[in-house]
């Protein structure tokens, strides 16, 4: 995930956050010509509780001679009933969604 940018604006229903970023994959030994990537965008409130999480999917296709491929993503997220003064207490997280096997493998390396 590269080139993350965001902009906020107050609307009647709360705060809208325009979020843009690039999703980039690099071909490895186990990667075929096309792979599906899962990534997420999560909103965390002032009390560190996850208020919303959306898992998104995209296909990355490598041309025969390409080592890297990806796409650009533009999203708008709404923080309902949040005022401009409260907005600083909220955080957005963007990351890759791990399946259970990958999550366990990463936990093992930390032990």
Q: Residue 6: what pLDDT? A: 94
> In this predicted structure, what is the pLDDT of residue 57?
93
Residue 4: predicted pLDDT: 94
Q: Let me know how long the chain is.
A: 111
CB contact at 8 A, 86 and 65:
no
**Measured torsion, CA atoms of residues 15, 56, 106, 62, in degrees rounded to the nearest 10:** -130
CA gap 81, 24 in Å, rounded: 34
Rounded CA-CA distance 16/1 in Å is: 21
CA angle 102, 91, 25 (to 5 degrees): 40
| Alpha-carbon 17 to chain mean position | 14
pTM above the 0.75 mark? yes
Residue 52: the pLDDT is: 93
Q: What is the mean pLDDT of each run of 10 residues along the chain (111 residues)?
A: 94 94 85 83 95 93 87 94 92 91 87 81
CA dihedral over 60, 69, 55, 84, signed as positive or negative: negative
């Amino acid at each position: 995930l590269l080139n993350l940018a965001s902009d906020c604006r107050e609307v009647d229903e709360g705060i809208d956050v325009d979020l843009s970023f690039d999703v980039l994959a690099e071909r490895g030994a186990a990667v075929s010509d096309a792979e599906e990537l899962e990534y997420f965008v999560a909103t965390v409130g002032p009390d560190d509780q996850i208020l919303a999480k959306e898992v998104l999917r995209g296909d990355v296709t490598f041309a025969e001679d390409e080592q890297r491929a990806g796409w650009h993503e533009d999203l708008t997220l709404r923080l309902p009933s949040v005022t401009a003064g409260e907005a600083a207490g909220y955080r957005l997280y963007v990351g890759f969604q791990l399946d259970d096997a990958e999550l366990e493998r990463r936990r093992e390396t930390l032990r």
